[in-house]
Chains A and B, each alone.
Chain A
């Protein structure tokens, strides 16, 4: 279990005067110096330096593609840095692989959990850290230790439960337990709250606080400013592979951090006027969907969306939102009654397909742009034509009018500020934000009466988020109806004119954004409708541990 120790022993090295570290003069738990890493021509990390003091929570904030994940991969031995050094408790440490990271006391909680689904909690905790060739003694020891840890840090999990039967909040706790079982004293969490309800996230932060009090060092990677402000002691900001600032959290503000992240002033709230809703465009009555496994995914959903308003659907991933979009978008069959502009649409049969839906004035920005929205190996202009390739404007006789498509693509690229402005670039080579702009441009420019939008800003940088939100609001202001599905509660709160919360295939109720808050919505997302009363985390988790859930859109 020895890790490579190449301490050069530089006692005279001057301490880095970076701000915000508690206990000046002490040895940092973890220190990075001059870390650089490039992938071909792309410089993912450039001369990164961080010092994190023991017993503190350090935040790393940055947009998608800013290089946070690369940095953490270097720390966990997934990538080798081109240059720079890592010091753990003052000792220079080489981390060639995950084993070395674990030996150095680093534990990592990945955004997508690294758990074996059909193993028990205990087996997952023990995996890779067994004491001997036989399992029984290791499992017995782990059971005891787990009990201790769960009492100490509110990390309650059933040791014999299978991972696939647990909700995401509990799965995350298993990941934390895995790290603690390996005696990690530096815990890195990558976007830990992406899949949690607000109540679960609060619980997580309480756990982290407890760990911090025990002297553990925690690095929290996130793009959520609020989390940084509420939980961290110090924060580093990354932009385009560089560390642009490290500050004491108490000395900064969300606005300043956002500006440091993006490099310019950003609007944190969506600027929009009150909705002027008109006649209903979409009326859904008792919509039901049964999936191929025979599980009911939608259990009688009724809603309507009127002209000039945005209806936001909040919910934890896997509670039927995806299926709702898929049925309305013509990608899945269902039962019930759906009217568009007062006329029913087919939910089964040959006329329930996406093409027919588009003819009826429904635009669809699917949740997963890489699998459903775009063909990644195809050029931007080919992607712009998809779904509308039978448009007479794109065709000349039996042949496609490629010149016309390209001209149209160039117009859309210009209007939606897609960068680089190159119709001949393959979809995969655009950044997430620009890929999404291509999809949005394709659907919005068709002037649909009803726009279905799923996760419009997932994996999209702040600049593009602003732009996409503006476009959606602009479409609303033209009197179109918009059905928005997002797992980002912030997005739902700021964009929607009405909010419906979905849980386990049902709508828990509707709220007006001005009359609700994250707490109430969070409880509804966990299937609790009596939001006035007191609810503890255990109740939330019991409700969310629904084994039938299929968060396939998350992975």
Chain B
């Protein structure tokens, strides 16, 4: 395995990690506010569909992005209505959202495009195209021409750092922003408090309902970005159930990250890496044993169980997670 292969796997890691990262940060906002969100998967899926559909219809990926985010926000509001306003069971609401999204997207896709539940392939302005950082192309050309060993390292720039869509850079930027919002702002303090002890927030004269809706909407926005990236950045169009469990992997990453933004980045990169490796190799040959790629794909779940079992430090979820808030003394 040469250096360029490693860089290519890492490059693919970044691409695959971004939808996880958006979804994971989405879940982080929601769960930090005490709203468990198993419906990340569904929100990503509707966002993927509507972004691809609108991009296909209008030819503008930006309109597609807006449509995807809007769809995810509507689903987030449904979850908020069920779990905050009507104090329903958050798991049930989330599962319902996933089923609704899975059925609805295929149905509408078939009705609109008659292509067996998919959208037409996107191209040109209908997709997020990769951005080449300054000088990247020149460096790549130089690398192809000259086989000097020093030029190999330049691949880190032109292959790994350059050549991603705008959403990838937005995704990485979202990590420090999330950290800053959570730990350096008034909103963040209140958000974390409402996930730990809504009673404390309420008696301090702050509306629990408003805070939780805000969190759920931010969750909608970020899962909208995740879905839109999936359909218009990573792939070129929507296909049936294209999220393929990424919402659940993002939840696993959230637990793995112990509900912390910077750890979330690490967890998503790790899970993205595992996916990239299994995409690249059918079988991983370690000399003595051969590991099938299915095992690599299952690793995120295995690691999450290990974390939950408390082998790698304790993962303490927000204390009020999953519980509807009822005013009482």
Residues of A within 8 A of B (CB): 69, 72-73, 76, 78, 97-103, 108, 110-112, 114-119, 123-124, 126-130, 132-136, 138, 178, 190
Kindly provide the distance from the CB of A195 to the nearest chain B CB, expressed in whole angstroms: 16
The 4 closest A-B pairs by CB, nearest first: A128-B204, A99-B205, A114-B200, A130-B186
Say yes or no for B187: interface residue by CB 8 A criterion: yes
The chain B residue sitting closest to A100, CB to CB, is B205
Contact with A98, one of B190, B193, B205 (Cβ below 8 angstroms): B205
Kindly provide the distance from the CB of B313 to the nearest chain A CB, expressed in whole angstroms: 14
B197 touches A134 (CB 8 A): no
Contact with A114, one of B183, B188, B199 (Cβ below 8 angstroms): B199
A127 touches B190 (CB 8 A): yes
A78 touches B196 (CB 8 A): no
B197 touches A116 (CB 8 A): yes
Given A116-B196, A117-B196, are A110 and B203 neighbors across the interface (CB < 8 Å)? yes
Kindly provide the distance from the CB of B72 to the nearest chain A CB, expressed in whole angstroms: 26
Residues of A within 8 A of B190 (CB): 127-128
How distant is the Cα of A133 from the Cα of B197 in the complex, in angstroms? 21
Residues of B within 8 A of A138 (CB): 186
Kindly provide the distance from the CB of A494 to the nearest chain B CB, expressed in whole angstroms: 29
Given A76-B203, A102-B205, A118-B196, are A123 and B189 neighbors across the interface (CB < 8 Å)? yes
Residues of B within 8 A of A135 (CB): 183-186, 188-189
The chain B residue sitting closest to A72, CB to CB, is B329
B196 touches A133 (CB 8 A): no
A134 touches B189 (CB 8 A): no
A-B contact pairs, 29 of them (CB 8 A): A72-B329, A76-B203, A78-B327, A98-B204, A99-B206, A108-B203, A110-B329, A111-B329, A114-B197, A114-B203, A116-B200, A117-B196, A119-B192, A123-B189, A126-B189, A127-B189, A127-B200, A127-B204, A127-B206, A128-B201, A128-B204, A128-B205, A130-B189, A132-B186, A134-B185, A134-B186, A136-B184, A178-B204, A190-B329
Say yes or no for B202: interface residue by CB 8 A criterion: yes
Residues of A within 8 A of B240 (CB): none
**Hey, what's the 0/1 contact readout for B305-329 against A, CB within 8 Å counting as 1?**
0000000000000010000000111
Which residues of B, 169-209, contact A by the 8 Å Cβ criterion?
Answer: 183-190, 192-193, 196-197, 199-206
Contact with A133, one of B185, B193, B319, B329 (Cβ below 8 angstroms): B185
The chain A residue sitting closest to B319, CB to CB, is A117
Residues of B within 8 A of A (CB): 183-190, 192-193, 196-197, 199-206, 319, 327-329
How distant is the Cα of A127 from the Cα of B193 in the complex, in angstroms? 8
Residues of A within 8 A of B329 (CB): 69, 72-73, 78, 110-112, 190
How distant is the Cα of A44 from the Cα of B197 in the complex, in angstroms? 27
How distant is the Cα of A127 from the Cα of B183 in the complex, in angstroms? 13
How distant is the Cα of A70 from the Cα of B196 in the complex, in angstroms? 25
Residues of A within 8 A of B192 (CB): 116, 119
How distant is the Cα of A112 from the Cα of B192 in the complex, in angstroms? 20
Given contacts A115-B200, A126-B189, list 11 more A-B pairs with CB under 8 A. A98-B202, A99-B206, A100-B205, A101-B205, A114-B204, A116-B200, A117-B196, A128-B201, A128-B206, A129-B204, A190-B329
Counting chain B CB atoms within 10 Å of each CB, the highest count among A98, A116, A117, A130 belongs to A116
Kindly provide the distance from the CB of B294 to the nearest chain A CB, expressed in whole angstroms: 35
Kindly provide the distance from the CB of B201 to the nearest chain A CB, expressed in whole angstroms: 7
B200 touches A133 (CB 8 A): no
How distant is the Cα of A78 from the Cα of B187 in the complex, in angstroms? 23
B186 touches A119 (CB 8 A): no
How distant is the Cα of A13 from the Cα of B202 in the complex, in angstroms? 36
B193 touches A119 (CB 8 A): yes
Residues of A within 8 A of B328 (CB): 78
Residues of A within 8 A of B199 (CB): 114
Kindly provide the distance from the CB of A145 to the nearest chain B CB, expressed in whole angstroms: 16
How distant is the Cα of A97 from the Cα of B210 in the complex, in angstroms? 14
How distant is the Cα of A138 from the Cα of B189 in the complex, in angstroms? 12
A133 touches B203 (CB 8 A): no
How distant is the Cα of A69 from the Cα of B184 in the complex, in angstroms? 36
Kindly provide the distance from the CB of B95 to the nearest chain A CB, expressed in whole angstroms: 26
B206 touches A115 (CB 8 A): no
How distant is the Cα of A148 from the Cα of B187 in the complex, in angstroms? 27
How distant is the Cα of A128 from the Cα of B183 in the complex, in angstroms? 15
Kindly provide the distance from the CB of B210 to the nearest chain A CB, expressed in whole angstroms: 12
Residues of B within 8 A of A134 (CB): 184-186
How distant is the Cα of A101 from the Cα of B204 in the complex, in angstroms? 10
Kindly provide the distance from the CB of A14 to the nearest chain B CB, expressed in whole angstroms: 34
Kindly provide the distance from the CB of A76 to the nearest chain B CB, expressed in whole angstroms: 7
A117 touches B197 (CB 8 A): yes
B184 touches A124 (CB 8 A): no
The chain B residue sitting closest to A115, CB to CB, is B200
The chain A residue sitting closest to B186, CB to CB, is A130
Kindly provide the distance from the CB of A294 to the nearest chain B CB, expressed in whole angstroms: 11
Residues of B within 8 A of A117 (CB): 196-197, 319
Kindly provide the distance from the CB of B122 to the nearest chain A CB, expressed in whole angstroms: 39
The chain A residue sitting closest to B310, CB to CB, is A293
Counting chain A CB atoms within 10 Å of each CB, the highest count among B196, B201, B205, B206 belongs to B205
The chain B residue sitting closest to A118, CB to CB, is B196
B205 touches A133 (CB 8 A): no
How distant is the Cα of A190 from the Cα of B189 in the complex, in angstroms? 27
A124 touches B203 (CB 8 A): no
Residues of B within 8 A of A133 (CB): 185-187
How distant is the Cα of A101 from the Cα of B203 in the complex, in angstroms? 9
B193 touches A116 (CB 8 A): yes
Kindly provide the distance from the CB of A94 to the nearest chain B CB, expressed in whole angstroms: 15
B184 touches A119 (CB 8 A): no
How distant is the Cα of A101 from the Cα of B185 in the complex, in angstroms? 25
How distant is the Cα of A112 from the Cα of B202 in the complex, in angstroms? 14
Residues of A within 8 A of B206 (CB): 99, 127-128
Counting chain A CB atoms within 10 Å of each CB, the highest count among B187, B203, B206, B327 belongs to B203
Kindly provide the distance from the CB of B196 to the nearest chain A CB, expressed in whole angstroms: 5
B205 touches A97 (CB 8 A): yes
Contact with A124, one of B183, B200, B202, B319 (Cβ below 8 angstroms): B200
Counting chain A CB atoms within 10 Å of each CB, the highest count among B183, B187, B328, B329 belongs to B329
B319 touches A98 (CB 8 A): no
Residues of B within 8 A of A118 (CB): 196, 319
The chain B residue sitting closest to A130, CB to CB, is B186
How distant is the Cα of A119 from the Cα of B188 in the complex, in angstroms? 12
How distant is the Cα of A72 from the Cα of B328 in the complex, in angstroms? 12
The chain B residue sitting closest to A124, CB to CB, is B200
The chain B residue sitting closest to A73, CB to CB, is B329
Residues of A within 8 A of B186 (CB): 130, 132-135, 138
Kindly provide the distance from the CB of A327 to the nearest chain B CB, expressed in whole angstroms: 24
Counting chain A CB atoms within 10 Å of each CB, the highest count among B183, B187, B189, B202 belongs to B189
Residues of A within 8 A of B204 (CB): 98, 102, 114, 127-129, 178
How distant is the Cα of A118 from the Cα of B262 in the complex, in angstroms? 19
Kindly provide the distance from the CB of A32 to the nearest chain B CB, expressed in whole angstroms: 18
How distant is the Cα of A69 from the Cα of B329 in the complex, in angstroms? 8
Residues of B within 8 A of A98 (CB): 202-205
How distant is the Cα of A73 from the Cα of B199 in the complex, in angstroms? 13
The chain A residue sitting closest to B195, CB to CB, is A116
Kindly provide the distance from the CB of B301 to the nearest chain A CB, expressed in whole angstroms: 25
Residues of A within 8 A of B188 (CB): 135
Kindly provide the distance from the CB of A453 to the nearest chain B CB, expressed in whole angstroms: 27
Kindly provide the distance from the CB of A165 to the nearest chain B CB, expressed in whole angstroms: 15
The chain B residue sitting closest to A110, CB to CB, is B329
Counting chain B CB atoms within 10 Å of each CB, the highest count among A101, A102, A123, A128 belongs to A128
How distant is the Cα of A98 from the Cα of B205 in the complex, in angstroms? 5
Kindly provide the distance from the CB of A394 to the nearest chain B CB, expressed in whole angstroms: 36
Residues of B within 8 A of A128 (CB): 190, 201, 204-206
Residues of B within 8 A of A114 (CB): 197, 199-200, 202-204
Residues of B within 8 A of A123 (CB): 189
